Amino acid sequence: MTLRIEEVPVDDPRAVSLRSLLDAELQSRYGPLVAGEPAEITAARDAALAVHPGDVVATLLALDDSDGGDGGEALGHVMLRRLREEWELKRLIVPPEGRRRGIGRALTDAVLQRARAGGARRVILQTGAPQPESVRLYAAAGFTPIPVYEPYVATMSESLCFERVL
């Protein structure tokens, strides 16, 4: 497999499709933990997790470039967004059939390069214990733990948050 990272518009259909897969996976992992919570808590958490297109600095896809063409199957997705004065890695997804092939690491490296080129001094991210493979990926990429940051403090105080100083 030859991998190519491509920056695409936030509404690129391949990116939208991969984010839908991520939503389903996160629901299966976190849904049982929040079942039965009050609707206002769910709404506040959904608002904290929302990514507004105007805040997105870059949407990156990992594409299978084995055929050398312009297309290529989308193998993974990640976003880089501005969160106030911070740069945040968001919505990293590699579908199960593509995992353990270096795709997540390539996307993470690409986000770090893009942030560095944009003048970021660090990149932050939020994840959780139900995503142990994500935690391992971020640690291997040099991210270190930090306290839970806004907008996640009120509704996801058990989050695992990390930074990578650039």
pLDDT in tens, 138-149: 999 999 999 999
Whether 58 and 114 have beta carbons less than 8 Å apart is answered as yes
Distance CA(137)–CA(140), nearest Å, equals 5
Nearest to 94 by CA among 73, 77, 111, 72: 77
Please give the average per-residue pLDDT across 103-125, as a whole number.
Answer: 97
What is the structure's pLDDT at 53? Answer: 94
* R_g of the chain, CA atoms, integer Å: 16
DSSP letter, residue 10: T
pLDDT one-digit tens code per residue, 83-93: 999 999 999 99
Top-confidence residue, 2 or 111:
111
Residue 33 pLDDT class (50, 70, 90 cuts): confident
Is the sign of the CA dihedral 87, 98, 132, 143 positive or negative? negative
Q: What is the DSSP letter of 152?
A: S
With 90 as the cut, is the pLDDT of residue 80 above it? yes
Q: What is the pTM of this model?
A: 0.91
Q: How far apart are CA 138 and CA 148, in angstroms?
A: 16
Residue 57, both tokens:
């600095």
| Domains of the chain with CATH codes | 3-119 (3.40.630.30)
Contact 91, 51 (CB under 8 A): yes
Could you give the percent of the chain with pLDDT greater than 70? 96
Residues 160, 126 contacting (CB under 8 angstroms): yes
